[in-house]
Amino acid sequence: MAANKERTFIAVKPDGVQRGLTGEIIKRFEQKGCQLVAMKLTKASEELLQQHYIDLKDRPFFSGLVQYMGSGPVVAMVWEGLNMVKTGRVMLGETNPADSKPGTIRGDLCIQVGRNIIHGSDSVESAEKEIKLWFKPEELVNYTSCASDWIYE
């Protein structure tokens, strides 16, 4: 895979959707120069969310997290670009909005860790796992953006 074709899984969580922040979040990824590969509004099942957060299953906040994530629709997306997983995490900010710098999505748009409005894969391996979990292969759209020659040298 070409270096600028790395993919990450990004989801606007139910609080982000309900607060009307989906457009602002998509705008930030578009303006950065990332390429949208897949997107859907979906209400995630408990099974999907338990799989998605399987690494956190022993943490005290796990059941509350699964309940919150299933409490309303999420906007699930795949974004592509150079070092997209790392770039996505930098754009999100820290897990706890209180530790997130201004200019990041969590630093600018939310306050508490349990309502931190957005998910982003934390490694290339988790991105691959999460993209498979949330999307069917045919939902990922391969195309070349006409802007790519102006974003990459």
Binding residues for ligand DAT, rule: CB under 6 A, are 56, 61, 65, 95, 113-114, 116, 119, 122
Catalytic machinery residues: 119
- The helix (H) or strand (E) run that includes residue 136 is none
- For the bound state, the minimum distance from the C-beta of residue 55 to Mg ion, rounded and expressed in Å, comes to 8
When CB distances are held under 5 to 8 angstroms depending on the partner's kind, the choice from ligand DAT, Mg ion, none that residue 152 binds is none
- Residue keyed to tokens 């790519």: 148
- For the bound state, the minimum distance from the C-beta of residue 38 to ligand DAT, rounded and expressed in Å, comes to 20
Q: Which is nearer to Mg ion, 94 or 122 (CB)?
A: 122
Q: Which is nearer to ligand DAT, 96 or 148 (CB)?
A: 96
The 8-class DSSP code of residue 96 comes to: S
C-alpha 49/C-alpha 39 separation (Å) is: 17
- Report the interface residues with Mg ion, using CB under 5 A: 122
Q: How many residues does the chain have?
A: 153
C-alpha 136/C-alpha 150 separation (Å) is: 30
- Say if residues 76 and 40 touch (Cβ distance below 8 Å): yes
- For the bound state, the minimum distance from the C-beta of residue 35 to Mg ion, rounded and expressed in Å, comes to 22
- Say if residues 142 and 61 touch (Cβ distance below 8 Å): no
Q: Which is nearer to ligand DAT, 56 or 111 (CB)?
A: 56
